[in-house]
Amino acid sequence: MSNPVLTRPKAFLHGIIPPLTIPFDQKGEVIYSALGEVVDQAIDNGVTGIVVGGSTGEGHTLDRDEFARIMERSHEALRGRGAFVAGLIVNSTREAIERVKLLKGLNMTALQITPVHYLFKPDAERTIEHFRAIYEETGIPILIYNVIPWNYLSADMMLRIMREVPGVVGMKQSSGDLKSVSDLLGGASADNVVLTGIDALLYPSFALGAHGAITALTAAVPGVCVQLWKHVQNGDHPAALDLHQRLNTLWNALSHDNLPACVKYIQHRQGLGLHLPRAPMQPVSDQQKAVIDAALAGLPITLRPSHSTVLHDLKRHSA
């Protein structure tokens, strides 16, 4: 199976590519018909694509049927307006391949795949074979999602994987270690993609030459992140530094224990329904809302009043 992204990944995977949040109701059911609004909010803010099934999207909580249906509905809502990246947070090579098979017919730009994440980890050779087998079975370019603390891949290991598995076109580096971003950019080939997943270091990552970002903040305030990206590309570093500082204030206001819930609240303040995280993750508390609101006030975005009710109008959001 051929894919133009394999030879020209940077033409498709660059700029701000937010992870899609998944709207859940009070019972933890997916509000499928609200997915289009989430996609539109991102695209209307100038992003270059979306990731579906990532960590901010609570992809680790989805069963196979939900995974496939969310991918299909999100792909339909995107309507070719940007890159479509399918996230896989699974613990075996077989499960990764089986999930991709469920998406037959979708035009996927790439797969974002974590190393295995439950307790045990394969050695270097098995890790390479994991990514090789997924690519050989699917033919879809792969981004390594380097986020698992106890199976954290070094820059040298990721560069080796890209050399030995041509289908691995890049990675999203999610550690707070800016040196690893620099090492990856210095060692990657001209065709590889290095995306930052470090919310607190978007500006320096872009200044070092990262090709874009996939982070929680890019989902929460995509328009501001697009502005930051453009400032750096245009060489306007004073403006970029100013936005960086204000974005960092917001990042410091967010709780990482229920980060997806916080992101959904921020999206709600910009016009979406107040969607919930999936249990047992806790919703945003009133105290968290107050801290987040104070940080949002310092950003160049239009805020709408917050409503306490969850969006569950069955006429608008039927399954």
**Model confidence pLDDT, tens digit, residues 170-190:** 999 997 789 999 999 999 999
Relative orientation angle of helices 222-233 and 237-253, to the nearest 10 degrees: 150
**Predicted local distance difference test score (pLDDT) of residue 149:** 81
Q: Return the number of other C-beta atoms located less than 10 Å from residue 80's C-beta.
A: 8
pLDDT of residue 5: 46
pLDDT in the model for residue 9: 63
| pTM beyond 0.75, yes or no | yes
Query: How does pLDDT run across 248-258, given as a tens digit for each residue?
Result: 999 999 988 99
Is pLDDT above 80 for 313? no
| Residue 308: per-residue pLDDT | 54
Q: What six digits make up the tokens of 76?
A: 């339909």
Rounded to whole angstroms, the Cα distance separating 5 from 199 reads 26
Q: Which pLDDT does position 117 carry in this prediction?
A: 87
What is the chain's alpha carbon radius of gyration, rounded to the nearest angstrom?
Answer: 18
For every residue of 68-112, which 3-state class applies, written as one string? HHHHHHHHHHHCCCCEEEEEECCCCHHHHHHHHHCCCCCCCCEEE
> CA 68: distance to chain centroid?
17
Which of 12-21, 147-156, 258-267 is least confident? 147-156
Q: What are the tens digits of pLDDT across the range 61-73?
A: 999 999 999 999 9
Task: Answer whether residue 310 shows pLDDT above 70.
Answer: no
Q: pLDDT by residue (tens digit) across 129-170?
A: 999 999 999 999 999 999 888 888 999 999 999 999 989 999
pLDDT of residue 8: 58
- Tell me yes or no: is domain 4-221 CATH 3.20.20.70: yes
Largest CA distance in the chain: 53
What pLDDT, on the 0 to 100 scale, is given for residue 29? 98
pLDDT category at 12 given cuts 50, 70, 90 is confident
Domain residue ranges in the chain: 4-221
- Is a pLDDT exceeding 60 seen at residue 289? yes
* Average pLDDT rounded to a whole number, residues 265-287: 97
| Predicted confidence band of residue 42 (pLDDT cuts 50, 70, 90) | very high
For tokens 């040298």, name the residue: 156
> Structure tokens of 78?
């995107």
- Averaged pLDDT of the chain: 93
Nearest Cα neighbor of 224 from 302, 299, 292, 305 is 299
Backbone angle region of 278, left / alpha / beta, with phi > 0 → left and psi within -120 to 50 → alpha: beta
Amino acid at 154: S
Q: How confident is the model at residue 118 (pLDDT cuts 50, 70, 90)?
A: confident
Pairwise CA distance, residues 107 & 114, whole Å: 21
